[in-house]
Amino acid sequence: MTLLIALKWMVKGKKGVVVFSDSKVTVGPVSYEVRKVYPILLTEDVPLAIAGGAGDAAFIKQGYRICERVLKDLAVREWNKKTPSSDQFEEAVKRIESVFIEGSRSYAIKA
């Protein structure tokens, strides 16, 4: 079981979200630490999203990379390097879902 808690937070008059997660994975008699929450930042000052996952570590890490690639590409190409609006983020989620469904190789970033 994975426990995630997210809180809306105010810091110096700015809104933010604080996300907490347990970091212990247990498979049979073996337990180990794993990163279940992954912040996605365009720059230090421009947060894009927080991704979370539980399950096979290789799949989760690949999922984080796909989310980060799609979001950073959209931020540069369509969002003027700013945090997206809720409508823009909803469209980004649809694009990420499409990549997961079609396979990670289907999303190529063109230079």
Residue 111 lies in a domain: no
| Sign of the alpha-carbon torsion through 19, 36, 54, 3 | negative
Residue 72 CA to residue 43 CA, distance in Å, equals 10
Residue 35 lies in a domain: yes
pTM score, whole prediction:
0.70
> What's the confidence (pLDDT) of residue 43?
86
Averaged pLDDT, 57-65: 86
pLDDT, tens digit (0-9, with 9 covering 90-100), for 38-53: 888 888 888 888 888 8
Residue 27 CA to residue 31 CA, distance in Å, equals 6
Residue 61 CA to residue 34 CA, distance in Å, equals 10
Q: Write down the residue that tokens 């992954």 correspond to.
A: 38
- Structural tokens at position 24: 């212990």
Residue 83 lies in a domain: yes
Q: Which domain holds residue 99?
A: 4-106
Residue 8 lies in a domain: yes
Number of domains in the chain: 1
Residue 36 lies in a domain: yes
Residue 42 lies in a domain: yes
Averaged pLDDT, 41-68: 85
Residue 80 lies in a domain: yes
DSSP 96: H
pLDDT at 103 over 80: no
